[in-house]
Chain A
Amino acid sequence: MSYKKKSTRTARSGRKREKWTDILPRYLTFISHMRPILRETRRKIIELDADLLLDIEVLDKIRQEEEKRNIRKVRALSEFYTMYRSNVYDIIKDFIIKYREIIPIIDIKDYIIEFLYESIGALNVLRHITNPDESSLEKTFLYVLTKFIEERLFSRGRNMIIIYNKLLEYSSDFYECQRHLLQPHTYYREKLERSDYFEIPGMSPKVYRLINNITSLYNLDPNFGEFPERENQEIPMILKTEVFNPYIDSIANAEEEAINQIAERIGLRVIDEIFLAPKEDLVDIMLENNFLRENKQSDGKIRLLPQLSNETLILYYLALASQRRGFLSKEFINWITMNFAFLIYMGILKWKLSDQNIFYPIFKDLQTNEKVLPYLMKLVCFPNYLSLDKLKIRDSPQYRKEIFSFIGSQIDNLKEFINEIADYCEKFDKERKNN
């Protein structure tokens, strides 16, 4: 009789390394390999006589010598090492060729050393972004930057009103970023109607368009009906059919069927099966922010007149997602965390690297991004940070490629936000050093 030992583990394969102490080393793996290459290169350049830089073959020889020293046994690491080093040397070579006729070689050497110094500094910050034991959290970049971004784009609060008001406060500067965070680029993988009523997906372009229609219809020509929860008050209502009226060839059928759930996500409800009206909490939010105006009628009833802004309902969606962050869909979580990871990463780079740094493209390369960002995405999911379900972060390389391709479609407002994060990094670093 053969004896087969039964495993006592019930966890699914691939979901084992999910503790902080498992993910952090994985995040550090590639970063800690990038830094020595740059430091070594910097040392070699410093030692090299400036005139020798004019001969490009010298650089090739140095690289070949360096490659011989490669003793990495892990294939992925070894490949990355070679790729990274050859990128660094290629960039240096190109820089020399491009400017050797224009700038004295001694200055070129200084520039290269300076750019390498900056890059090492950026990697140093990325390497010490947090503490392995999570001690003195509020002194770590990962924590403060997550909180800085969270406050503006995915605010927390005890209730919806607090969250909403915080988001609204920052909307004049970062509304496009807030809206961007709500719209996963992989929306086509989502289902609008879910058996789990609580699960919130991101906002698809079509749903965004519907919300836009709803906002306009409220402002243009609303009906009014009794406020179910409050006597003597009337709330604005619009006809459900009017929202879907513009769509031809049944292209909004899925949205029409899921209208109850979509309405819930923007603070509305369906009344008498035909009207869309704001729920009580949205009414309170709108009253507080001047999106509803009280008007006393001749019959003594108070009519709440809508005066919505573009962001009124969109920010409710975002506030609800923030409040129910434990119930977000897989696509939505991947999108949010990726944006956070990207903003943190780019913010640090912007702070540490000058705009003309020749090594910027290496940091922004998809191959570098996919080695750093996925782990950063998981780290920001931990309870001290965003408190999102990190098990929903996909590990598939194919998926990473898909979601990282969004980097090509950066919006201007995101770039402005990255500048602000960079300024904040500088300020925080100074304060930290002073203390």
Chain B
Amino acid sequence: MAEIQDPTWKELLQQFKKGLEKAIDELEKRDAENIPGAKEALVQRLNNMKLHFPKNNGDIFIKSINDKIQNSFFPNTKNFSEAFDKILKSRTHEQDFIINELLNGFVTSKAKAIASGTQGPIINRMVEAFSKRNDFHIIDHQFYAMFGDPNKPRHYIKNQLEELVKMFGLVSKELVVKKDVRKSEEKVYTFYTFPDDIIEILEEKYLIINEELGYAYVSDAFDRNVFICMFLANVSINRDDLEKIGGSYTINGISAIFALILLLSFMPKLSVDETNPILNDPNFDADNMSVIPKSWMMRQVLEPLFEPLIKIIAYRLGGGLWLTKIIDSEINKKIINQIRFLLKDVNKWILGELVRVEIPIFVEIANIFTEIVVGYDES
């Protein structure tokens, strides 16, 4: 009920409505579609959105963002393991592309991003380092030996490990050996592992623990996306601490990708003529793909839609704090420009037509919209 009086939310819904009107205007001027009726279907969908979205205090947005997007990729909790568990559960082969893109999105929206340059492959190294041992720990010296470069000072690899530990929220334990074998000097080994509650979640599918032997093996399913899920969980629980999550670029990157997911879910499915070559293309699978209009991708249409949509997402995810961090300038337009071409494995081109792969998140959000529209028509 509090949200009914929330003037910011009301204003954002208004802005989106205005954005829809502008986008419809722009659409009327141009036609980039090859499929007859595609433009009309899109215009009708945008009109429907204009009609239904502001209703019940923006119920469709609240349900789509709070229940679906947050639950799958950015859980609204302060509990790290709960957040991690939810993200991990939303993994499917195709949704992994989104999880990857959320990490890559930071790379493109930020010059010195968290996983840019050499850090991407380092995530693979972490997987390798954990896979190598049978106690599900990595030891600092083992990590240095595996990945250190003899031609470079040790502090490079030390810094890399520290950064990774921070990024993934690993926990450490120290083991002091009074006399080491080589120099008979005291030596401190640091073991890193996942927090206990995370290990519990990983058990069964990703981690096989044998209590009798005291061993913990990683299974074949344990891959780099497990770490990316941890990274996302870390960002989601620390959403109020801008410094911890990498500042405004992270916020803009995350909000923009979620805005793209939302928009893609609302796109209408087009029926194509049975002679359309796309139906014979081996890359098109009619069972889990739909052809959608492509004109929304035109800069002139996308900008008025995306600007308020990114703000809506930011406000729902991080409240006023996030909203104030959305860059409202030319840079935002550039971010919008690059975001529209992301998610290329689930928002892909086949013979010049835009195709949406019907992954769970798209289907669930689309269903919310359909339910509300059908309910309205019936009443």
Contact of A408 with B32 at beta-carbon distance under 8 Å, contacts A219-B349, A247-B334 already known: no
Report whether A98 and B147 are in contact in the complex, using a CB–CB cutoff of 8 Å: no
What bracket does the count of chain B residues touching chain A fall in?
A: 35 or more
- Asked if A107 lies at the interface with its beta carbon under 8 angstroms from chain B, I say no
- Asked if A251 lies at the interface with its beta carbon under 8 angstroms from chain B, I say yes
Report whether B335 and A246 are in contact in the complex, using a CB–CB cutoff of 8 Å: yes
Please report the C-alpha to C-alpha distance between residue A293 and residue B277 in the assembled complex, in whole angstroms. 11
For A212, what are the chain B residues with a Cβ–Cβ distance below 8 Å? 341, 344
- Asked if B324 lies at the interface with its beta carbon under 8 angstroms from chain A, I say no
- Asked if A171 lies at the interface with its beta carbon under 8 angstroms from chain B, I say yes
Please report the C-alpha to C-alpha distance between residue A88 and residue B210 in the assembled complex, in whole angstroms. 19
**Nearest CB in chain B to that of A293: its residue:** B352
Q: Which of B310-361 contact A (CB under 8 A)?
A: 331, 334-335, 337-338, 340-341, 344-345, 348-354
Main secondary structure of the interface of B (DSSP, over half): mixed
For A405, what are the chain B residues with a Cβ–Cβ distance below 8 Å? 121, 124-125, 128, 147
For B297, what are the chain A residues with a Cβ–Cβ distance below 8 Å? 216, 220
Contact of A248 with B331 at beta-carbon distance under 8 Å, contacts A97-B212, A98-B212, A408-B223 already known: yes
B224 CB contact (under 8 Å) in A97, A98, A408: A408
- Asked if B172 lies at the interface with its beta carbon under 8 angstroms from chain A, I say no
CB distance from B294 to the nearest CB of A (A): 6
**Nearest CB in chain A to that of B123: its residue:** A409
Contact with B along A309-346 (1 / 0, CB 8 A): 11100000000000000000000000000000000000
For B212, what are the chain A residues with a Cβ–Cβ distance below 8 Å? 97-98
Report whether B349 and A94 are in contact in the complex, using a CB–CB cutoff of 8 Å: no
For A406, what are the chain B residues with a Cβ–Cβ distance below 8 Å? 121, 124
CB distance from A363 to the nearest CB of B (A): 13
Report whether A310 and B294 are in contact in the complex, using a CB–CB cutoff of 8 Å: no
Report whether B351 and A291 are in contact in the complex, using a CB–CB cutoff of 8 Å: yes
Please report the C-alpha to C-alpha distance between residue A269 and residue B107 in the assembled complex, in whole angstroms. 28
- Asked if B79 lies at the interface with its beta carbon under 8 angstroms from chain A, I say no
- Asked if B149 lies at the interface with its beta carbon under 8 angstroms from chain A, I say yes
CB distance from B211 to the nearest CB of A (A): 11
For B345, what are the chain A residues with a Cβ–Cβ distance below 8 Å? 310
Report whether B121 and A186 are in contact in the complex, using a CB–CB cutoff of 8 Å: yes
Report whether B283 and A246 are in contact in the complex, using a CB–CB cutoff of 8 Å: no
- Asked if A410 lies at the interface with its beta carbon under 8 angstroms from chain B, I say yes
- Asked if A215 lies at the interface with its beta carbon under 8 angstroms from chain B, I say yes
Report whether A246 and B117 are in contact in the complex, using a CB–CB cutoff of 8 Å: no
Please report the C-alpha to C-alpha distance between residue A291 and residue B348 in the assembled complex, in whole angstroms. 14
For B5, what are the chain A residues with a Cβ–Cβ distance below 8 Å? none
Report whether B32 and A220 are in contact in the complex, using a CB–CB cutoff of 8 Å: yes
A310 CB contact (under 8 Å) in B109, B215, B224, B344: B344
Contact of A98 with B210 at beta-carbon distance under 8 Å, contacts A308-B349, A309-B281 already known: yes
Report whether A221 and B352 are in contact in the complex, using a CB–CB cutoff of 8 Å: no
CB distance from B111 to the nearest CB of A (A): 4
For A188, what are the chain B residues with a Cβ–Cβ distance below 8 Å? 117-118
Report whether B338 and A247 are in contact in the complex, using a CB–CB cutoff of 8 Å: yes
For B215, what are the chain A residues with a Cβ–Cβ distance below 8 Å? 94
**Nearest CB in chain A to that of B224: its residue:** A409
For B132, what are the chain A residues with a Cβ–Cβ distance below 8 Å? 365-366
- Asked if A398 lies at the interface with its beta carbon under 8 angstroms from chain B, I say yes
For A171, what are the chain B residues with a Cβ–Cβ distance below 8 Å? 282-283
Please report the C-alpha to C-alpha distance between residue A186 and residue B283 in the assembled complex, in whole angstroms. 29
Q: Which of B201-218 contact A (CB under 8 A)?
A: 210, 212-213, 215, 217
For A407, what are the chain B residues with a Cβ–Cβ distance below 8 Å? 128
- Asked if B47 lies at the interface with its beta carbon under 8 angstroms from chain A, I say no
Q: Which of B122-158 contact A (CB under 8 A)?
A: 123-128, 131-132, 146-147, 149-151
Please report the C-alpha to C-alpha distance between residue A220 and residue B31 in the assembled complex, in whole angstroms. 10
CB distance from A300 to the nearest CB of B (A): 22
Contact of A209 with B108 at beta-carbon distance under 8 Å, contacts A94-B213, A307-B351 already known: yes
For B32, what are the chain A residues with a Cβ–Cβ distance below 8 Å? 220-221
CB distance from A175 to the nearest CB of B (A): 7
Contact of A216 with B352 at beta-carbon distance under 8 Å, contacts A98-B210, A175-B283 already known: no
- Asked if B179 lies at the interface with its beta carbon under 8 angstroms from chain A, I say no
For A221, what are the chain B residues with a Cβ–Cβ distance below 8 Å? 30, 32, 298
Report whether B224 and A172 are in contact in the complex, using a CB–CB cutoff of 8 Å: no
Report whether A410 and B223 are in contact in the complex, using a CB–CB cutoff of 8 Å: yes
Report whether B334 and A245 are in contact in the complex, using a CB–CB cutoff of 8 Å: yes
Contact with B along A204-229 (1 / 0, CB 8 A): 01000100110110011100000000
B294 CB contact (under 8 Å) in A97, A175, A220, A250: A220
Report whether B351 and A290 are in contact in the complex, using a CB–CB cutoff of 8 Å: yes
- Asked if A412 lies at the interface with its beta carbon under 8 angstroms from chain B, I say yes
Please report the C-alpha to C-alpha distance between residue A402 and residue B146 in the assembled complex, in whole angstroms. 9
Report whether B147 and A309 are in contact in the complex, using a CB–CB cutoff of 8 Å: no
- Asked if B29 lies at the interface with its beta carbon under 8 angstroms from chain A, I say no
**Nearest CB in chain A to that of B148: its residue:** A398
For A309, what are the chain B residues with a Cβ–Cβ distance below 8 Å? 281, 283, 348-352
CB distance from A307 to the nearest CB of B (A): 3
CB distance from B352 to the nearest CB of A (A): 3
CB distance from B265 to the nearest CB of A (A): 19
For A175, what are the chain B residues with a Cβ–Cβ distance below 8 Å? 283
- Asked if B93 lies at the interface with its beta carbon under 8 angstroms from chain A, I say yes
Please report the C-alpha to C-alpha distance between residue A293 and residue B294 in the assembled complex, in whole angstroms. 18
Q: Which of B74-129 contact A (CB under 8 A)?
A: 93, 104, 107-111, 117-118, 120-121, 123-128
- Asked if B367 lies at the interface with its beta carbon under 8 angstroms from chain A, I say no
Report whether A307 and B353 are in contact in the complex, using a CB–CB cutoff of 8 Å: yes
- Asked if B271 lies at the interface with its beta carbon under 8 angstroms from chain A, I say no
CB distance from A338 to the nearest CB of B (A): 13
Contact with B along A399-416 (1 / 0, CB 8 A): 001101111111010000
For A307, what are the chain B residues with a Cβ–Cβ distance below 8 Å? 34, 351-353
CB distance from B363 to the nearest CB of A (A): 21
Please report the C-alpha to C-alpha distance between residue A306 and residue B353 in the assembled complex, in whole angstroms. 10
CB distance from B113 to the nearest CB of A (A): 9
Please report the C-alpha to C-alpha distance between residue A401 and residue B341 in the assembled complex, in whole angstroms. 34
Report whether A308 and B147 are in contact in the complex, using a CB–CB cutoff of 8 Å: no
- Asked if A133 lies at the interface with its beta carbon under 8 angstroms from chain B, I say no
Report whether A220 and B335 are in contact in the complex, using a CB–CB cutoff of 8 Å: no
CB distance from A21 to the nearest CB of B (A): 32
Q: Which of A95-115 contact B (CB under 8 A)?
A: 97-98
Report whether B223 and A172 are in contact in the complex, using a CB–CB cutoff of 8 Å: no
For A272, what are the chain B residues with a Cβ–Cβ distance below 8 Å? none
Please report the C-alpha to C-alpha distance between residue A309 and residue B127 in the assembled complex, in whole angstroms. 33
From A216, A220, A401, A406, name the one whose CB has the most chain B CB atoms within 10 angstroms.
Answer: A220
- Asked if A249 lies at the interface with its beta carbon under 8 angstroms from chain B, I say yes
Report whether B125 and A251 are in contact in the complex, using a CB–CB cutoff of 8 Å: no
- Asked if A185 lies at the interface with its beta carbon under 8 angstroms from chain B, I say yes
**Known contacts A97-B213, A172-B283; can you find 14 more A-B pairs with CB under 8 A?**
A98-B213, A185-B124, A209-B338, A212-B341, A212-B344, A213-B341, A215-B349, A250-B111, A309-B281, A366-B128, A398-B150, A405-B128, A408-B224, A409-B123
A-B contacts, 11 of them at CB < 8 A, read A94-B210, A216-B340, A293-B352, A306-B352, A309-B349, A310-B344, A310-B345, A310-B350, A365-B132, A401-B147, A408-B126
Closest 5 CB pairs of A and B: A307-B352, A246-B338, A172-B282, A408-B127, A246-B337
